[in-house]
Amino acid sequence: MDAGGANHNPTAGDGPVDGGVGGAVGVQIRQSRRLPDFLQSVNLKYVKLGYHYLITNLLTLCFVPLIIVTLIEASQMNLDDIRQLWLHLQYNLVSVIICSAFLVFGLTVYIMTRPRPVYLVDYACYRAPDQLKAPATSFMEHSRLNGHFDDSSLEFQRKILERSGLGDETYVPEGMHHIPPRLSMAAAREESEQVMFGALDILFANTNVKPKDIGILVVNCSLFNPTPSLSAMIVNRYKLRGNIRSFNLGGMGCSAGVISVDLAKELLQVHRNTYAVVVSTENITQNWYFGNRKSMLIPNCLFRVGGAAVLLSNKSVDRRRAKYKLVHVVRTHRGADDKAFRCVYQEQDDNGTTGVSLSKDLMAIAGGALKINITTLGPLVLPISEQLLFFATLLVKKFLNKTGKPYIPDFKLAFDHFCIHAGGRAVIDELEKNLQLLPIHVEASRMTLHRFGNTSSSSIWYELSYIEAKGRMRKGNRVWQIAFGSGFKCNSAVWQALRNVKPSRNGPWEDCINKYPVKIIT
């Protein structure tokens, strides 16, 4: 379980706000002073747009004169010229046949060995029943009645909750609603079954795919790994076939959802004409922290019940009904660095109580992992114009101005939608700032955090569902899913919409999308 980040300064207050007539006049003065700066930024904006258009269409602009010249020359050829060309080809018939044979052979090898496209047919996100909702007041009351926390810890949790970005409709498992909590193995199994089976039931109903048709199953859950495994529980429940290739990933944190997709993708390159199901979840029942170490209390305030099931296919016939095509997966692992390895660490406190400790260096380590990840991802997705700008500023920094800031590529030119792991408000704030995103780009992440909390590896699917429910996903749009996890890892998945995507039945936002976005109190 990763907390992915929280606001580590919960007591910070808001700045002063201008009021009355004086405030209005002050705003007008500031706006008038900033008008030249605004006009300059508008001019630079259009200069940059013109530059990107020129570089993007440079080949076309170069080839247009060549094509025109070729057409003029062809129109001036007479019948004698055409006859001479045909005779020349006849005399070189052997060469033509050999070239054609090599061409056919090369095309055949390419078609047989090229990576098979992986399609996302559909996915489903679990939504818990209303009786499992945990408003902040109820959360704090239960924490007080449990008797495990001292006054300082209770106050710390209250402040974290106030600034976490979570709303009052998130869910905790049934065992946590009891006093004292039910923390048994049976209660933990019950939570996992409700989440996984709930998501899978919706997925199978929406896609009309029979469980027997599933050839690959990948399940990821970081902290709960019973015997038999979670994947075996699914095989038993849906009576999946005996030769299914099943995998159970544990201890890989909030970024394990992208890892599971990557594993399924690799398997779909080998095993043809089959389906793969990816199930991403986390278990809270046996992983609640009942101690007083501050760094271990933050996950209690952020993590909530959730899970997702994703149906992938390598069948060409599924392209017509699939929602997305997988374009890229980029994985970054910083486990070789000791500080990064221990920044999200499951351990016991001084009293022997087990919990997940978050390092104060978490955000800095996450930023470093993000930098490495986008350095690899950038050349794959960014237009050539942005790559040239980045390379040019890199040379300037290296040879002329070593103290200058590096150029941050504009990923808004590469992606239409962003699904940033809803690990905490601080994670979303940092990526919005560092990637220079607009509020609408992080809206799905903020609203997912508000409505469902940090659901670990499944949060990126709730965010994608939000974008669909808002009717924003159009054919050809590119989506960037990015998640952070213990280890420390930063993983990215890029999808392309194959059609104008509408939300599937029984989606997690079905009964509440009209209430969003809501204003988040800071």
CATH code at 153?
3.40.47.10
Q: Please tell me which residue in 221, 254, 301, 343 is annotated as part of the active site.
A: 254
In a domain, 401, yes or no: yes
In a domain, 277, yes or no: yes
411 Cα distance to chain centroid: 14
Identity of the amino acid at 207: T
Closest among 296, 407, 271, 417 to 349, alpha carbons compared: 296
Determine whether 177 is an active site residue.
Answer: no
At residue 479, the 3 state secondary structure works out as strand
| Number of domains making up the chain | 1
Q: In the structure, what pLDDT confidence band is assigned to residue 7 with cuts at 50, 70 and 90?
A: very low
| % of the chain residues with pLDDT over 90 | 65
Extract the tokens encoding 259: 């890892």
Determine whether 454 is an active site residue.
Answer: yes
Closest among 214, 135, 220, 127 to 511, alpha carbons compared: 127
- Residue written as token pair 């890199």: 394
In a domain, 5, yes or no: no
- 338 or 12, which is more confident: 338
Residue 30 has a pLDDT of 38
Closest among 101, 111, 183, 199 to 146, alpha carbons compared: 183
Kindly tell me if the per-residue pLDDT of 61 is higher than 70.
Answer: no
pLDDT digit string, tens, across residues 441-481: 999 999 999 999 999 999 999 999 999 999 999 999 999 99
- Count Cβ atoms within 10 A of the Cβ of residue 283 and give its class: 0-12 exposed, 13-18 middle, 19 or more buried: buried
For residue 292, give every residue at least 6 positions away whose Cβ sits within 8 Å of its Cβ, in sequence order, or none: 149, 150, 152, 153, 349
Closest among 398, 397, 386 to 48, alpha carbons compared: 386
* CA separation for the pair 389, 380 (Å, rounded): 15
In a domain, 81, yes or no: no
CA dihedral 187, 193, 195, 201 (to 10 degrees): -160
In a domain, 315, yes or no: yes
Determine whether 88 is an active site residue.
Answer: no
What rounded mean pLDDT belongs to the chain? Answer: 85
- Residue written as token pair 């050829």: 77
Q: In the structure, what pLDDT confidence band is assigned to residue 103 with cuts at 50, 70 and 90?
A: confident
Segment among 245-249, 290-294, 388-392 with least mean pLDDT: 388-392
Q: Please tell me which residue in 221, 287, 421, 490 is annotated as part of the active site.
A: 421
Q: Please tell me which residue in 417, 441, 477, 490 is annotated as part of the active site.
A: 417
- 110 or 171, which is more confident: 171
Determine whether 450 is an active site residue.
Answer: yes
In a domain, 54, yes or no: no
Q: Which domain holds residue 292?
A: 119-515
Residue 4 has a pLDDT of 47
Residue 356 has a pLDDT of 93
In a domain, 412, yes or no: yes
Mean pLDDT value of segment 6-26: 39
Determine whether 417 is an active site residue.
Answer: yes
In a domain, 410, yes or no: yes
**Is this prediction's pTM over 0.75?**
yes
Determine whether 441 is an active site residue.
Answer: no
Given a contact cutoff of 8 angstroms between Cβ atoms, the answer to whether 417 and 477 are in contact is yes
Residue 291 has a pLDDT of 92
For 84-142, strand residue ranges (E) read 119-125
Given a contact cutoff of 8 angstroms between Cβ atoms, the answer to whether 325 and 475 are in contact is no
Q: Please tell me which residue in 221, 333, 419, 441 is annotated as part of the active site.
A: 333
Across the strands, what pairs with 443?
Answer: none
- Residue written as token pair 């907390």: 3
Other beta carbons within 10 Å of 381: 20
- 407 or 246, which is more confident: 246
Q: Please tell me which residue in 7, 419, 450, 491 is annotated as part of the active site.
A: 450
Q: Please tell me which residue in 314, 454, 477, 491 is annotated as part of the active site.
A: 454
Q: In the structure, what pLDDT confidence band is assigned to residue 50 with cuts at 50, 70 and 90?
A: low
Closest among 393, 517, 382 to 463, alpha carbons compared: 517
Mean pLDDT value of segment 213-233: 96
